[in-house]
Amino acid sequence: MSLPPLSLDTPVERFSARHDALDPGDRWYSDRIPLSAPGPGEQYAFQVDLDQCTGCKSCVAGCHSMNGLDPGESWRAVGLLVGEHAGQARMQTVPSGCHHCLEPACLAGCPTNAYEKDPVTGIVVHLDDQCFGCGYCELTCPYEVPKLNHRLGIVRKCDMCSGRLAAGEAPACVQACPTGAISITLVTKADVAVTTRTGGLVPGAPASHVSQPTTQYISTRPLPEDARAADHHALHLSAAHPPLAVMLALTQLSVGAFVTSLVANRSEGALAAAIAAIVALAASVLHLGRPLMAFRAVLGLRHSWLSREIVAFGAYAALAAAYALGRATGGAPRVVAAVGIAAAVCGVAGVVCSALIYVVTGRVWWRARYTLVKFAVTAASTGPLLVLVLGHSAPLGTFAAAVVAVGLADEAWFLARHRGGTGDDLARTVRLLTRRLGGATTWRFALAGLGALVAPFADAAGFAVLALAVVLAGVLIERYQFFVASVVPRMPGGFRR
């Protein structure tokens, strides 16, 4: 029995016939990548035809396989937008990855200069050998593209398969897409700078003006302006970062205690403050994927608030220890006083840098209005209590209690103000704090409230240790919530652990 001849009606057959007809010197997939390198003022960019995307995730699988990623590691994602247009429900799958921005926020925030933007292609490349795994780029990138590989202790991300592009072949995601929805195109940087001043890449995406992403999303059907990611209202906890929570609490306690001791002219508090600062810096090293490379933290001093924080606190710890030693050994009063003032300035600068590390990420829960207040309240409450524990007799407990009360009132006002909302990021943070984190929030208020009640009695009745313990415990819970309750702006269906 003879079979009828095969037709070329299936995609596989058409692809095979086209492949066999290629001249060996031709460039494969040349219809999906530019035929020439970027010219002056141009760079490579992803172009996504939303009309062609079926949400099959072949791009995710192709990228994972070609780049040899670990299980659970992904450099691409496919999300879903839902909305209504002209009375009709509308769903749209949206593939996304690194957008190789004109002003990469990951590069600006990196303390080790582990990122570079190729001056010819515009591709943002991560330099694995220079990374020490702090993960700060995960926070600064509006799209959460870089991800920490815990096995290697470094961050990794998409480099647009730059080696394949240089050899005239398409990136893995482009080659894997069965419908041709993803391609590489050339964009003019000046045009991107103009088009990213307002709006986002797609409805619900982070504002484009932050980093000026170059990815081009095209469609013949307009997306509804009110479209949102299918998981927009889902409550997801962010990473907790325990070493950073401890580091923030202890550095602020240290600076508060040192400034109090300096004003009160007491040397014991200065020594305890220096010790607390050293312990805090040691705790921060535990956050790194490659702790032995911690010395690289100062390389990004010109552009990274994390580098500036490390330099400020390093100088503060050294100067505070020198001040305490000078007071203990009877050093020259003027010199010792100058060292003390310099230490206080560096300490306060370090606390401000700590706040700006989070402020520049653009997350609304980490705005300066909230972050600076939290950090200042911690320093002004725990610091005086530590000095009181060391035997100072001034009415510091009453002052600390007042500061704690002000901080609690501010937090209660925040919860009350945003409790009724459902859509914006602050309302979602409040839902996390009062629902999934409701138990921790109760403990936070209970401990801080107890500290505020006990602290005034510490001045005379010797309750200083108890007051410091409960207030500091409340601060640690608040720092934990500071990280996990932060709602992250991301592309639809964006990267999550």
Backbone CA torsion sign across 305, 306, 311, 312: positive
Question: How many separate domains does the chain show?
Answer: 2
Q: pTM, whole model, 2 decimals?
A: 0.89
- CATH number of the domain within which 60 lies: 3.30.70.20
In angstroms, the CA 228 to CA 489 distance is 12
- Listed in sequence order, the DSSP H helices in 239-390 are 242-264, 267-285, 305-329, 333-359, 368-389
Please give the Cα distance from 284 to 264 (Å, whole number).
30
Same domain flag for 325 and 247: yes
Residue 6 lies in a domain: no
Looking at the fold, whether 295 and 193 belong to one and the same domain comes out as no
- List CB contacts of 142: < 8 A, sequence separation 6 or more: 105, 206, 207, 210, 211, 362, 489
Shared-domain flag, residues 337 and 378: yes
Q: Hey, which residues does 46 pair with through a beta bridge?
A: 184
Tell me the pLDDT of the chain (497 aa) as tens digits: 454 555 556 666 666 676 666 655 444 455 788 878 899 999 999 999 999 999 999 999 999 999 999 998 999 999 999 887 667 788 899 999 999 999 999 999 999 999 999 999 999 999 999 999 999 999 999 998 999 999 999 999 999 999 999 988 899 999 999 999 999 999 999 999 999 988 889 988 889 999 999 999 999 888 887 888 888 777 889 999 999 999 999 999 999 999 999 988 877 789 999 999 999 999 999 999 999 999 999 999 999 999 999 999 999 999 999 999 998 888 888 999 999 999 999 999 999 999 999 999 999 999 999 999 999 999 999 999 999 888 766 688 899 999 999 999 999 999 999 887 666 889 989 999 999 999 999 999 999 999 999 988 876 666 888 999 999 999 999 999 999 999 887 788 654 54
Q: Is the same domain home to 185 and 323?
A: no
Q: Do residues 196 and 57 both lie within one domain? A: yes
Q: How far apart are CA 439 and CA 449, in angstroms?
A: 15
Q: Name the token pair of 24.
A: 């060996």
323 by Cβ neighbours in 10 Å (0-12 / 13-18 / 19+) ranks as buried
Please give the DSSP secondary-structure letter assigned to residue 133.
-
Note whether 267 and 211 are same-domain residues: no
Residues 385 and 464 both lie in one domain: yes
Do 207 and 251 belong together in one domain? no
Please report whether residue 225 resides in a domain: no
Q: Domain boundary at 187, 220, 253, which?
A: 220
Q: What is the CATH number of the domain that holds 475?
A: 1.20.1630.10
Q: Is residue 231 part of a domain?
A: no
| Closest-CA residue to 114 (of 123, 122, 124) | 124
Examine residue 357 and state whether it is found in any structural domain, yes or no. yes
Same domain (yes/no): 298, 435 = yes
Residues 211, 259 share a domain: no
* 410 membership: H or E segment, kind and range: helix 396-418
Residue 20, domain member (yes or no): no
Question: Do both 250 and 155 map to the same domain?
Answer: no
96 is a domain residue = yes
Any domain includes 286: yes
Residues 263 and 203 in one domain: no
| Residue 364 structural domain | 242-484
Q: Is residue 5, in this structure, part of any structural domain at all?
A: no
